[in-house]
Structure formats: C-alpha cells, structure tokens
Structure 1
Amino acid sequence: MNKTENQNINIKNWQQYSFADIFDIEKGFYNNRPEQDEKEKIPFVSASKYNNGITDYVNKNNTKIFKANAITVVNDGNSMAHTFYQDKDFTSSHSVNILRIKKDFDVGLTENIAMFLNTIIYRERDRFSYGRKWRFERMLKTPIKLPSKNGKPDWQFMENYIEKIKSKIKYPTKDPVLDTKRELKTKNWKSFNLTDLFKISGSETTPLLELEEYGRGNYPYVTTQATNNGVEGFYNFYTEDGGVLTVDSAVLGYCSYQSYNFSASDHVEKLIPKFMMNKYIAMFLVTIINQEQYRYNYGRKCSQDRMEKGSIKLPSKDGSPDWGFMENYIKSLSYSSNL
C-alpha cells in the first residue's frame, strides 16, 4: 500500500525570494584544471557530487583563489545543483557558481546555515537539464523559498534547526559488538541458489517528480546508483516494505540492504528473504552478492532472469547456510556497534 506522512517542517508560511535577493554570486573560473600540487592543498572544486565537490588540489601560485566560507553549486552536467559548504580557501572550475550571503543582511554564513541552504538549493535541480544549465544569469533569477521573520530570512531558525538535528546524531565508534574475532575460511563454503534463499521480485517504479509532490520526509528513494546505499533522497512516501535487499538490474547488480520502508526508481529489484534476516546477516550477504558484479556489464545486465538462475557461496552447516556464523562474523568487525 502506498503511504505518506506529514512533513517534519512546516513551509507553508515561508517567503519567496530570488537568489539575487539573498546571495552575492560569483562565476567559477577555470575551463581547465590548474597545475596539480597536493603540498599546497588548495582544493579545486568542480562539477562533482562527491567529496564536497573537490576533485583535486592545485598550486596556489598564479591561481584565482576564492575565500573560504562560501557555498558552491554545480551549474552543469550530471552533478547539476549539488551544493557544498567550503570552509577553506579554494579555487573552482567554470561549472561551479560561488554563493555568499549578501552583506546587507549582516549575518555570517555559519556551517549550520550553509547546511540548511544547501538542502533548499539542491531541491531546485529539477528545473534544469543539459539543455538548460544553471549558469550565473539563470541563477540570479531563480526563486527560492526560505523561513522568514519580519520580511527577512530567519537565519536564527535555520541555525537552530540544523543544530537540533546534529544533537540527535549518534557519532560512530570503532567498537565491535563481539570481542571474539571470527576467521573466514571459504574453502568449504557451499553454493546456494538465490531462489532457495530469496523471493526475487520487482519494485513499483515511482517517478521522482511524483515524490517531489509528496515532499521531503523519512522514507528512502532507492535508485540504481552504486553509492550511498542506492539512496537518492528521502520523501514522505513509500511503496515497498523494508527488511529486504535491493539490486540494480540496469547495469552491474549493485546490492544494498534496505532496513526501512522505501520507494524506488526503475530497475530496482528486491530480494525478499525466505529466512530470518537481521541487519548483520544482511551486511554479510550484501558483500557476497556485490562480489558477483564482475559477471555483469551494459551488454549483460543483472536482470531478474539472471538472478533467478544465479547462486552464491556461503558458510554452511549441515548442508544449510550458517546464519549464526555470518551474524557473528559481522558483529566481530570494528564499527559493527554502529549498525
């Protein structure tokens, strides 16, 4: 059953501005990357959705430097609208716009305010495409809604909202759940058909534009991307029950564990366990299944048919999968207490 829930933040009374009302915007600079130099440690920010947009480090001599405490927004390519806070001096490609809060507001750009703004800015990505890039002139005119007080952006609300979220974060520790180490001895592992372990099923495809209508929320949107557990965002809508493995059937068969209810893009298949699967067993299985990715490519996709004929090797006991060993092995690893 399709389900939704109320949003955690009320945007009904937010006020609309243009980017030009809120930000001083600079164009990025380089068509080609400057000379590399990791010793100088000047970050080069370009059109990337990873590593805070940083793709290299360059020599600071004869390099255009942008001062720290700025927001960078990708204006072109696959990473369009990915937005990051730069807390150190940096340089950038022309595929990035640099934003700073206008001095008229007499407020400093803190990390918390930047994190709030980053999320709002990223939501504008659907307005743009390869044929409609988010260059400087378009960005100036782009509308943006923000929490407001007395006709101005409510910066304190933004600061407090992110601080409240941070206070709920549980920071990871290196501790394992179990102190006793387990060794992997794969020589005597047994091969099991995937269909003996799982019911293999497709998921309901939910277009991203439909999810945007429901708004942001707590339910993951699982896609075929092979990063971030396959999750592209969180929305107030789900179609699938959690407690399953998902597999990208579009390309390489990337597998991930979805503990929560979720919605999905096209080409996301589900492996529904026929056994009692907890998060530790799931992590073991995900690792094993992802070792099979070498079997697939663009011409040979990880389809349902291929999965139904597929098998994996697992620790076994008395002819059956040794679920207890798998669980305890994961529990013996560093950081397992964070799962």
Structure 2
Amino acid sequence: MNKLVKISDVFDIKYGNSLELINLEQCKSTDLHSIPFISRTEKNNGVSSFVFERIDIDSNPSHTLSVAVGGSVLSTFYQPLPYYTGFHVLVLYPKREMNVAEMLFYAKCISSNKYKYNYGRQANKTLKDILIPENPSINLIDRLSIYKTEIEQKLKQQPLITEKFDLNKSNWKSFLISDLFQITGSKTTPKQDLEDIGKGKYPFVTTQATNNGVDNFYDEYTEEGNILTIDSAVIGYCSYQPFKFSASDHVEKLIPKFKMNKYHAMFLVTILNLEQYRYNYGRKASQTRLKEISIKLPSRDEEPDFKFMENYIKSINYSKVL
C-alpha cells in the first residue's frame, strides 16, 4: 500500500497574495498582460476573473497548486499560468520534480478531504497535516499522462469542416422562441433526495451559470435529454443538456419542435445567452416572458436556416470535440 504522508512533506506551503478584486483592474483573458485571479470558488479552476498584471505585485508561479482554506474549503486546482490570489488561498510548491499528471493527482487527493470542513471550519492551520500518498503509482500516472495527451491532441484537431462562414446578419429574421420550442417547466428534485439516492451518471441541472448549469451527477433522472434549459431565477442562463437529467427549482425546459442536433444547440444557446440583458432579480426569464420573446437567426425562405447554423459551428475551432 502507498505510504501516507503529510502535505507539508510533499509541498512547501505559502500564502498567496491576499488581494481584493475590487482593487484590481479586470480585463479579458485575451488582453495583453492579463493574469488569472484565483479566489475561494470551487468553479472554473478557481478563476473568478482576469486582471491586468501590476509591476508592484509579484505573481504566484505557474506549475503550483492553489488551495482555498476558506469559503469553498479545500477547492484545489493545478495552475498552469502565473496568477494572483484573493484572501484565504494558499499556494503549494512541489518539493520534488513533478509532471502535470502528478500535480493533478495531488489536487484531487487534497480536494477529496473537503468533507472534513465547512464554512465554520477553515483549513489554514490544518492543511499541512492532511495525509496524502507519498508517491502516486506509476501505472496511475502513466494513465493520467496518456489521458492528458489525448485531450491535448483533440484540442489541436482541425474543425470538422474547413470552409469559413460569414455571420452576415443582414439576412437574419426574427423568430418567436415559442415557435421553435415547447416552453415548459422541469420537475423539481430536492438535492437531498438525490444525495440519498447516491452519485451516478445523470447531471443535476441547477440555476448556476457555470459548468453548463450542472451541480453534480446522481443515479436519478426526471427529464429527457437533447433539450435546452434556462434558469428562471437569476440571469436567464441557457445551456444545452444532451443527456437525461434531474433539475432544481426554476429550471425551464425548451423542447425543440424541430430535429435538433448538438451543433444547432450550440448556436442557439449562444444566441439565447445574448438575451440575458433582459433579465435580473426583479425580471425573471419566466415561461410567460420566454413565450413572448423573439430572437434573430439566420434564415432561408423565411424559415430558420438550421443547415447554416450547423455548418457554422462545425467550422469553428474545437468542433471535433463537441
């Protein structure tokens, strides 16, 4: 059996920057001199924003682990780029040479201890004493490395079609959402009921606007897949659900009245998420409101041009991994 040792035996543990996002200038990830800002969130690899790098603030180095010791305690992520951190985020430096697969393995090991903590119990004093394997098995690391390489190769693949399509909106027409979809509610399933049933392969879709709306996976479903969902509680976030799923409260369903494939869905989700400016906490994306809204789409002979939508998505980068 692999020997267990303390985290402090494998990593040097240091405090991050303890910065406040409000005091930094936010930007896009593609902007020159942008840098990830890592907070205590458990989503998006810990990245809550991108900010402009400042010459008076040293960044944390790449190829380290960020660990939230408050908030979403023990949310641990491998950081491939230099980054800043907010409060209560520690940085783990490997004491020996490790490849990416090993770092990802240890990130998962540390995150697996989340159950020991909650918002009233932070990990800033106890992180160093958490037990992790001294060395991951060679077989496991080899498998993780192969999987990582396969993912990287997929992301380097050419689009499904090489022809480029111009988004000339001059010939786009307005269509009622209700003419394209049957708009209805989903069955609300309490999360505790799903926890009692146990983990499985079916997504639990919520009103969150990250991770495709998926909070977790359980061995239960109430809804069929290949539909769109829209949150009617917050900002009207739309996502495509290809698989059977269960749902929390305020998750509306858009069931296509046409033969929809995943390429149509990706195009329509993008268009529908451009409508979020219409919604806020006082104005929800209710079924009644959705039935009254029109969206502009490529058209042909006064009908939605689904073939164009499909080909456009197939022509963009990473379409082969959809």
**Normalised-by-shorter TM-score class:** 0.7 to 0.9
Q: In the alignment, what sits opposite 2:262?
A: 279
Gaps of 5+ in 2: 26-30
Amino acid at match of 2:148: K
Partner SS, residue 288 of structure 2? helix
- CA drift of 1:240 comes to 2.9
Once residues 161 and 285 of structure 1 are traced to their aligned partners in structure 2, the CA distance between those partners, rounded to angstroms, is 37
Q: 2:40 aligns with which of 43, 47, 52?
A: 47
Once residues 43 and 293 of structure 1 are traced to their aligned partners in structure 2, the CA distance between those partners, rounded to angstroms, is 25
Question: In structure 2, do the counterparts of structure 1 residues 157 and 192 end up closer, same or farther at CA, with 3 Å as the change threshold?
Answer: same
Are 1:27 and 1:136, in contact at CA under 8 Å, matched by a contact in 2?
no
Q: 2:223 aligns with which of 240, 243, 247?
A: 240
- CA drift of 1:230 comes to 2.7
- CA drift of 1:307 comes to 1.6
Question: In structure 2, do the counterparts of structure 1 residues 15 and 301 end up closer, same or farther at CA, with 3 Å as the change threshold?
Answer: farther
Asked if residue 224 in structure 1 is aligned to residue 207 in structure 2, the reply is yes
Asked if residue 303 in structure 1 is aligned to residue 291 in structure 2, the reply is no
Are 1:27 and 1:94, in contact at CA under 8 Å, matched by a contact in 2?
no
Q: In the alignment, what sits opposite 1:160?
A: 142
- CA drift of 1:71 comes to 2.1
Amino acid at match of 2:223: E
- CA drift of 1:238 comes to 3.9
Identity between Structure 1 and Structure 2 (%): 42
Alignment of 1:40-189 (within 5 A): 45-47=38-40, 49-50=43-44, 53=47, 56=51, 57-59=53-55, 69-77=63-71, 79-86=72-79, 92-99=85-92, 108-125=97-114, 127-130=116-119, 132-140=120-128, 154-169=136-151, 170-173=153-156, 175-189=158-172
- CA drift of 1:168 comes to 4.1
TM-score (norm 1): 0.71
Q: Which moved more, 1:27-36 or 1:308-317?
A: 27-36
Are 1:200 and 1:270, in contact at CA under 8 Å, matched by a contact in 2?
yes
Per-residue CA deviation, residues 50-90 of structure 1 (Å, 9 max, x unaligned), is 466485545478x6x8676542211223x543312246777
Alignment of 1:261-272 (within 5 A): 261-272=244-255
- CA drift of 1:296 comes to 0.5
Once residues 39 and 181 of structure 1 are traced to their aligned partners in structure 2, the CA distance between those partners, rounded to angstroms, is 27
Are 1:112 and 1:163, in contact at CA under 8 Å, matched by a contact in 2?
yes
- CA drift of 1:301 comes to 1.2
Once residues 89 and 197 of structure 1 are traced to their aligned partners in structure 2, the CA distance between those partners, rounded to angstroms, is 45
- CA drift of 1:272 comes to 1.2
Question: In structure 2, do the counterparts of structure 1 residues 236 and 329 end up closer, same or farther at CA, with 3 Å as the change threshold?
Answer: same
Once residues 34 and 312 of structure 2 are traced to their aligned partners in structure 1, the CA distance between those partners, rounded to angstroms, is 40
- CA drift of 1:254 comes to 1.4
Q: Which moved more, 1:24-33 or 1:196-205?
A: 24-33
Once residues 67 and 139 of structure 1 are traced to their aligned partners in structure 2, the CA distance between those partners, rounded to angstroms, is 20
Are 1:26 and 1:136, in contact at CA under 8 Å, matched by a contact in 2?
no
Amino acid at match of 2:209: A
- CA drift of 1:120 comes to 3.7
TM-score (norm 2): 0.74
Amino acid at match of 1:295: R
Are 1:283 and 1:330, in contact at CA under 8 Å, matched by a contact in 2?
yes
Amino acid at match of 1:240: E
Once residues 42 and 256 of structure 1 are traced to their aligned partners in structure 2, the CA distance between those partners, rounded to angstroms, is 27
